[in-house]
Structure 1
Amino acid sequence: MSRLKARSTFVPYITMRKGEEPAPVTMLSASPARGLYYADEGPGDRDDRGVLWARCSQNRDGNAVLGEPRWKDVHPARQRECMEALLCQGCVQQPSKTDLGYLFIATRPADATSTDWIEGYRTAQPPLCLVHAKTAVDRCGHLLKRGAVALRSRVPRLYGVLGTYYLDRGLQPPEPIETDPEEEDVPLPYKTRRYTPWILASQLVRELRGVTVVNLEEEIARA
């Protein structure tokens, strides 16, 4: 949903803003025993599974996020906040939840020939309230192009992360590994312990279980 068209006056909470910049690679260190780490690491730098997260500045005035949106980019800390707590990615409030579960907006895989893909669908897009689900479907170029599907998940399980892998270079700062563009959107499962010490996470991924396809227009009309 971070790709809302410029005509929209609404900017999702997770969207990166101009002036927000990632911490330089020189702040990272690495060792064979620890993997990636920050020398001045604090409690918020790792998630509950021990994965290190990318640091990025924030343009904030209290609860307000300021600055011109960078529509194609997602802020790692704000995406993580919404995905961990299951908050609406648009307004960082409670998302829509019914007996069928939390509301997510998905895009149908290009090679899908049935609805089998919905169960176990993996997404880095946090849930949504009804208002901002409607906004996303109406104005998000990516969703308009590929076709939006409204899903409800009873069990949106934590699955893993998207991010950048690094190589240890001894006394020099660790070096990012170039990956195949087709693999950039392939999340690293938390259970893959061999690689989790070497990824700098930027987005949290959930796997949707107990999934039902719903009609968003009908739900909005009922509400």
Structure 2
Amino acid sequence: MTTLEVEIKLAVPPTVPGGPGALFERLAAQETLAGFPLGAAQRVALRDTYFDTDDGTLAGAGAGLRVRREDGRTLITLKVTQAREDALTRREEYEAPLDLASLREVVERIRPLIGPGTVPFAAFAAGRPAGPLEPVLDVRTERIVRTVGNVATLSLDRVLYPGLAPEPYYDIEVEAAPGLADPAVLRALEAALTAAADGHLRPEGRSKLERGLALLRRR
């Protein structure tokens, strides 16, 4: 099923008081954010493998295709950016458990971009070159997740780019709950998070994929 993802993304620089890790621990223990109750903190480990054509056709079209491994699950996700305004991004998103049917669904959606080649399921699922698609980026994320009332999900991400960056990046994401994509609510949460970090957060318009591809280009 295709949904609309609306989220705020903020970068946490090393200069934040106490460091990014200390900020994350404070936010993991906080009871409310902008007046909304925060749910229990859950810690998850994510491993994402992103695919594209050898000439970056998907990235050029504002699309990102990944295989995510999380808590024993394997998911396939296709995101296409619709609009972006500093920290706020809207994307069309298709996500499903990875199986032959979901891969076929995604391939048909991107067929105009990747051409007529076959995408072998076993190779794709294993993160290997698969027809016109090839793995272009590996991203590891240590995430703390909390619900924000019934309006959003807060994710505190320590992001690793193996072989590309010696130090982790720290991101904060606030994703609107399905059907509740009110920019005013997300902006209020953004302001509350910025205040909690003494003004040190900055809008991060780039996705994890886009930032990783920039690191690749600088190698």
Question: Do they fold alike, i.e. is TM over 0.5?
Answer: no
Structure of greater relative contact order (alpha carbons < 8 Å, 6+ residues apart): 2
TM-score normalized with structure 1 length:
0.29
Which structure has greater helix proportion? Answer: 2
